[in-house]
Every structure is written in structure tokens, then in C-alpha cells.
């Protein structure tokens, strides 16, 4: 059955969402190659953010810091706690809230992952010149 729309003014390969999805798939593949099942990208983001934040971070605040919804944050945190990479303690002031921090084991895993993550970024952006890399990162910041 033929298309009911005039497809001459719409080219899927030129749509931002489609291009971003392909770029993300490429990045994810490179990440998986280097992470070698150590951490998922969301686990890495979570562990890294907790490690660089001073003191403990509430689970709610963590979700905002890594741009994850509450349900996803809860799942990621649960898996990292189960692996002993972060610890979760009830807040002494607000007993409804859980405070998170990295463990020594989590920081050791993160230390081992950081050089790999730098390589992931380099490989993801490898088709670009240095100027194009800076420009792309700047433009992506502009739309987020």
C-alpha cells in the first residue's frame, strides 16, 4: 500500500531523533565493549555521581543529578547496593529518606572504570576533528 503522505519533505535520515538514536546505539556498543559487563552505563553514572558529590546524597537528589526517573533510580541503586558498591542508610533527620554513598569497593571499581570511560568517549567521537568534538558537545549541551 502506498504512503498516504508526501514523503518528499520528510527524510528520516535527516531527523534529529533518528540521528541521535543511531549515535547513542554506537556509543552504547562502544561502552559495552569496554565495560565488559562490569557496570551498565546507568550504574556507572550513578556510581560516578555519588563519588564526586560531597557527603551523602538522597536517592531523590541522585535521580535528578543523573537524569533518571524515580523507578529507574531505585532499580539501579538496589543493584549497586546488592553488589556492595554503594551503601544506603536511612536519613537520621527524615526517616522516609535514604542517603547514599559509595563504598571502598565501589570507589575501586570506579577507579578501574574511569580510564575505560575516557576511551569510550574518545572512540565515540573518533570520526570528528577536535574542533568538531568540542562543537558537538557544546551543541548537545545547548539542547539538553
Instruction: Identify the CATH number of the domain in which residue 104 sits.
Output: 1.10.10.10
- Whether 88 is in a domain gets the answer yes
Tens of pLDDT along 5-42?
Answer: 666 778 889 999 999 999 999 999 999 999 988 999 99
Residue whose grid cell is 569496554: 34
- Whether 6 is in a domain gets the answer no
- Whether 120 is in a domain gets the answer yes
- Whether 137 is in a domain gets the answer yes
- By the 8 A CB rule, do 54 and 99 touch? no
C-alpha cell at 78: 538496589
Its domain, for residue 125, covers 20-143
- Whether 30 is in a domain gets the answer yes
Look at the chain and report how many structural domains it folds into: 1
- Whether 124 is in a domain gets the answer yes
pTM for the complete prediction? 0.85
C-alpha cell at 95: 526517616
Distance CA 120, CA 116 (A): 6
> Does 3 score more than 70 pLDDT?
no
Amino acid at each position: 500500500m502506498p504512503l498516504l503522505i508526501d514523503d518528499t519533505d520528510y527524510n528520516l535520515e535527516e531527523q534529529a531523533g533518528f540521528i541521535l538514536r543511531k549515535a547513542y546505539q554506537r556509543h552504547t556498543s562502544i561502552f559495552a565493549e569496554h565495560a565488559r559487563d562490569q557496570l551498565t552505563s546507568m550504574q556507572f553514572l550513578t556510581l560516578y555521581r555519588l563519588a564526586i558529590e560531597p557527603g551523602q546524597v538522597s536517592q531523590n537528589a541522585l535521580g535528578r543529578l543523573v537524569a533518571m526517573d524515580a523507578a529507574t533510580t531505585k532499580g539501579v541503586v538496589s543493584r549497586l547496593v546488592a553488589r556492595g558498591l554503594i551503601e544506603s542508610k536511612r536519613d537520621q533527620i527524615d526517616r522516609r529518606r535514604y542517603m547514599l554513598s559509595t563504598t571502598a569497593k565501589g570507589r575501586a571499581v570506579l577507579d578501574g572504570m574511569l580510564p575505560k570511560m575516557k576511551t569510550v568517549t574518545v572512540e565515540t567521537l573518533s570520526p570528528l576533528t577536535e574542533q568538531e568534538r568540542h562543537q558537538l558537545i557544546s551543541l548537545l549541551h545547548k539542547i539538553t
